[in-house]
Structure 1
Amino acid sequence: MKKSVALGLSTLALIALSASPLYAIVAGGQTYFLVVPRLVGATTTNVSASYRIARYSFTVSVPSDSGEPLGALSVGIPAGIYTPYPGEVSVVDATGARLATQTTAQSDGSLLITFQQPVAPGSTVTVQFEPIRNPKGGGTYLFEVRALPAGTNPFSYFLGFGRLEFFVGGAGSSG
């Protein structure tokens, strides 16, 4: 009887602990999100192949229950797309205010955009590449978007592909 009472109390204690709010998950020395951010969309200001001055935008929403602020975003640049220089990369919040970031080109062809002030849960940010030249050929281009929580040794989460389509002779915007 004492074992079952002790086991019951242990179970209640675990339930009570799991119901308390968690602000970060650190396991094996890595920081994780409780709820993963979401890639909301990808747009370009012009879908014409070879267009010289376009803007590509990738919008990410950080859930209010993410448990950890957003520390960085990684955007993989597909073959055939001009890789922007750090000065051609900016990030804005939902109000359009520019956020302070540091952009670093990675050896795998992606850009790592690190926030000087981590993005709070419940926020939305948009990464912009501008000016950028559209690819010479038409087609669908997939930009791999990843999110990293702020904190020690962050785990990189694949959010999805930002999909942009370009057309030979096309004009206009994708969104």
Structure 2
Amino acid sequence: MSGFEFIFSLMGLLLGLALAEGLGGLARCLKASHKVRIGWPTALLGLFVSCDVVSFWMYGWAMRELLPISWPVLFGGFVLTGVYYVVASLVFPNDIEACDDLDAHFEQHRRTVLAGVMLCNAALLAVTLTLFPKFPLGSFRAILFTWSFFPITLLAIVARDRRVVVGCLLLLIATYPASALWN
């Protein structure tokens, strides 16, 4: 087993659980859709978290040759993937049928979810810059997909108008397929 396989056995497990938590919440909502209105904000937040978890997984693969097997790397990976699991579990309520409308749940948890995802991305950026000191931060692609993430997410955290939050989520979600297509 390589060092990367050892490190990623833990991180991959937690990232997979984060995806399962989000998908499980969505499945519970769909099953209860005759009693509960899901709403666009909650659905978009779940999609955003899922896209970000997948992109984090991809970054882990891209860094596989550079990640040293060490306590700080293993513990840091545990903390970040643990944050992803927690924020994914906050997107949908545990007891769906106790909610009439998920918009109230969304308003209660969106800031925590978005802040957790932003924290993970800030840590990922710091690790990327440490491992790839010549990362082209000034390129148009980096500005568009990396640097735009933080102000858009911050705006979604502080905005009071749900339409602004939904617009930010749509922009953030759009960056994932756009980034994948732009290689």
- Pick the structure with more helix per residue: 2
- Pick the structure with more strand per residue: 1
- Please indicate the TM-score interval, normalised by the length of the shorter structure: under 0.3
TM-score using structure 1 length: 0.25
TM-score using structure 2 length: 0.25
Q: Flag the structure with larger Rg.
A: 1
